[in-house]
Amino acid sequence: MSARVVSLFILVFALSACASNPLEVTISRCPAVAIVGDAGTLTRFDGEDRNVENVLYTASISDVSVSCEEGDAVASAISFYVGAQSDGRVTNQTVTVPYFVVVLKDNSQIVTKRVYDVALNFDENGFADSLETLSQFIPTIEQARRYNYELLIGFQLDVNDVVYNMER
């Protein structure tokens, strides 16, 4: 009798597992958000010589999160941290660092690029961080359905900054 009960439970469990389709795909019209690889870190130096001994501070973008509401339009709120660390030469002062946000359409076409400044307030131990929050709005759901959108975040770097990031 107990073997029949166990078999019945197994059958009921197997049938209930079939009620949900594990291959069901949900399409979101919310933009994907990513940090651009080599533009996610910025290193500032004391002087022209770009070596480890002359690093004033290094800043990084991290902890990107997005919340999104889909309706007649698509509205996203993106937040991330910009953190920096100094070896002690930059303490109790504020530095301003530029970063960009690019909206891409279909992984290749730049829709907009905006450059923002973040103020990093270094404490007495040489640490600084700032929570940045931005919003992105796609005006119609039809536009959101027609194209794939991405938001790319990174520091506004010059050629020397890019070369340094690629070499390290």
The pLDDT of residue 130 is above 60: yes
**Stretch 108-112: mean pLDDT, rounded?**
86
**pLDDT, position 7:** 55
As a residue count, the chain comes to: 168
> What pLDDT, on the 0 to 100 scale, is given for residue 1?
53
Over range 55-68, report the average pLDDT: 92
Q: For residue 107, is pLDDT > 70?
A: yes
Instruction: Decide if 2 is inside a domain.
Output: no
How far apart are the C-alpha atoms of 137 and 75, rounded to whole Å? Answer: 5
Mean pLDDT for 16-31 is 64
**Residue 118 belongs to a domain:** yes
Residue 132 has pLDDT above 70, yes or no: yes
Nearest in space to 85 (alpha carbons), one of 117, 127, 43: 127
pLDDT on residue 21: 59
Whether 29 is covered by a domain: the verdict is yes
Q: Is residue 54 part of a domain?
A: yes
- Confidence (pTM): 0.77
Say what the pLDDT of residue 39 is: 93
Residue 65 counted as domain residue: yes
Band of pLDDT at residue 97, cut at 50, 70 and 90? very high
Is residue 14 domain-resident? no
The enclosing domain of 122 has a CATH number of 2.60.40
Query: What is the pLDDT averaged over residues 63-85?
Result: 90
- Say whether 53 sits in a helix, a strand or coil: helix
What's the structural domain count of the chain?
Answer: 1
CB atoms within 10 A of CB 48: 7
For the chain, give the mean pLDDT: 83
Rounded-to-integer distance, Cα 72 and Cα 104, Å: 21
Does residue 48 sit in helix, strand or coil? coil
In a domain, 41, yes or no: yes
SS3 call for 153: strand
Other beta carbons within 10 Å of 103? 17
E strand or H helix that includes residue 127: strand 127-138
Containing structural domain, residue 141: 23-167
Q: What is the distance, to the nearest Å, from the Cα of residue 67 to the centroid of all Cα atoms in its chain?
A: 12
Instruction: Please check whether residue 60 is in contact with residue 36, taking contact to mean a CB–CB distance below 8 angstroms.
Output: no
pLDDT, average across residues 14-39: 71
Q: Is residue 5, in this structure, part of any structural domain at all? A: no
What percent helix, strand, coil does the chain show, rounded to 5?
25, 50, 30
pLDDT band for 146, please (50, 70, 90 cuts).
confident
- Phi and psi at 30, nearest 5°, equal -75, 140
